[in-house]
Amino acid sequence: VDAVVAEAEVAAEAVVVAETESMTRHEDLPSLGVGLGFRPIHREQIIHFRKSIDFLEIVADHYFTASPAKQAELEMLKANFPLIPHGLALSVGSAEGIDTRYLNDFRGIVEAVRPAWCSDHIAFTRAGGIDIGHLTPVPKTSAALRVIRDNLRRVQESMSVPIILENITESIRYPEDEFTDAEFLGRICDENDVGILLDVTNLYINSVNYRFDALEVVRRLPKDRIVQLHFVGGRMEEGRWVDSHDSTPQDEIWQLLESVLAIAPVKGVILERDEKIPPLRDLIPELDRARRLFPKAIAE
Ligand SMILES: [Fe+2]
């Protein structure tokens, strides 16, 4: 009996070792530095600022059915910068599953770019076969975790690089929420061996609008999973913060960015800007400032 028990223990240990080995070691991903969310308005200028931008995040969806001009743009970007494809509509929170066509298109861009990782959002953009057209928050429940797990399994099986998921600004919260922000994010990471694209601005906005401590959420997350950050300025509107993506980051956002960089081994920081986009030269000082916040060991 003892021999059988010992054998079973050895077998169980082997399973644990195999699982550990197949896990993504997010801490081993390369450090990309501080970069910019690429916007086509900067297409002509971007090459002149190559030395000031460590890497670019591109919206994967913009290249799915690429015209020759978009194809040329992608080639130009790829030749000059490390690129990270960022998806908008994988919709890992959709109960009806992942859209095969979208997944194939996304994978096509990943294969073309061969990035260190790729990203999308913890959200759903499709429900009941209808495209909602924007990122909708997922209820923080066990049922939603099961949906995300099934969807992510499909995504991870088809992607050749790790996918990381971004926290979104939540326009609504659900009364049926079972988990706190930190618990929900932590469970998504641990259950799916997936990393986080922590949008510092989104986290800050949610923390103000729903009254919780943003930094406490970060402290409770598995630090090694925080692979990349987003940051941008927001705006106060009728007593609520909105992620307007239209200004330089406010002091509160710089402070949170600095705190996150001090406690998590982040591999890359992306400055976003989607409205009132200034000339590229005006964004470079913000990249330089963010770069100075990187702990030395990570920045090197
Ligand atoms: Fe973001």
* Ligand 1 geometric centre to CA of 199 (Å): 5
The confidence score (pLDDT) of residue 9 equals 62
Measure 18 CA to ligand 1 centroid, in angstroms. 34
Parallel, antiparallel or unpaired: strands 118-121 and 124-127:
unpaired
Ligand 1 centroid – CA 50 distance (Å) = 22
d(CA 198, CA 186): 12
For residue 150, report the distance from its CA to the centre of ligand 1, in Å: 24
7 Cβ contact partners less than 8 Å away, ≥ 6 residues apart: none
Q: Per residue of the chain (300 residues), give pLDDT as tens.
A: 566 556 666 555 555 544 555 678 888 999 999 999 999 999 999 999 999 999 999 999 999 987 999 999 999 999 999 999 999 999 999 999 999 999 999 999 999 999 999 999 999 998 888 888 889 999 999 999 999 999 999 999 999 999 999 999 998 999 999 999 999 999 999 999 999 999 999 999 999 999 999 999 999 999 999 999 999 998 888 778 888 888 899 999 999 999 999 999 999 999 999 888 999 999 999 999 999 998 754 444
Quote the pTM value.
Answer: 0.90
Q: Which two tokens stand for residue 21?
A: 């080995």
What does the block give as tokens for 7?
């054998």
**Ligand 1 centroid from CA 203, angstroms:** 10
Tell me how far the alpha carbon of residue 9 lies from the centroid of ligand 1, in angstroms.
Answer: 45
pLDDT value, residue 17: 47
Cα of 121 vs centre of ligand 1, distance in Å, is 9
Q: What is the distance in A from the centroid of ligand 1 to the CA of 243?
A: 9
For residues 273 and 37, the answer to whether their CB atoms sit within 8 Å is yes
Question: Are the CB atoms for 259 and 213 separated by under 8 Å?
Answer: no
CA of 165 to the centre of ligand 1 (A): 10
Q: How many residues does the chain have?
A: 300
Residue 87 confidence (pLDDT):
97
Pairing of strands 226-231, 195-199: parallel
DSSP 95: T
Rounded-to-10 torsion of CA 148, 56, 23, 220: -70
The burial of 275, by beta-carbon neighbours within 10 Å (0-12 exposed, 13-18 middle, 19 or more buried), is given as: exposed
